[in-house]
Amino acid sequence: MTAQIAMAWALAGLVAALALVLLSGRIGRERAASWLVVLGLVVLALEEPLLTLFWSVAGPGADRDGMATLVTELARAHVLDSAAMAAGLLVLLGWIALTAFRRGERWAVGVLSTAWVVVAAIVVTTTLAVHGRGLPVGPGSGFGWEQLAVGLLAWFAGLWVMRQASMRPCSVSSQ
């Protein structure tokens, strides 16, 4: 993937997130919030665990970051397991977003909020300590911060829109 493709992908995600935020009053805040979270999870899944799965089966001939022939089978198995488990957890979070979170259940809001904090902390830590992902921080150069930023932003926007939905005044009808 080139930096231009990565930027285009991030821009498409950002436009979709903005559209969902702007349309939240029309399509329903809960619905928009759940799809914002799912959008963020999809962008993050493609940039992190699914890309890691690809790198674990690709060799350096297929991709400069491919590691299939550079690490032991045990290390590769651990990378595959970790990436598959992370992808599975993101799928589970997406399911929670489309079900209990969409209904405004407090536990789902808590789970998705806590997961966002954990994921954001991991991304910030690895960006500062392992690879700067194109930002002028930490070691390494290249690109990748755009997708991470859009994924986290969309997910956070979903949490924010749901908070706004829960703060709406209740209408009491008299009979």
pLDDT in tens, the chain (175 residues): 677 888 898 999 999 999 999 999 999 999 999 999 999 999 999 999 999 999 999 999 998 889 999 999 999 999 999 999 999 999 999 999 999 999 999 999 999 999 999 999 999 999 888 888 878 777 766 778 899 999 999 999 999 999 988 766 544 444 4
- pLDDT score recorded for residue 171: 44
- Cα–Cα distances in Å, from 3 out to 6, 8, 82? 5, 9, 26
Domain ranges within the chain, ordered by starting residue? 18-164
Structure tokens at 97: 């977003």
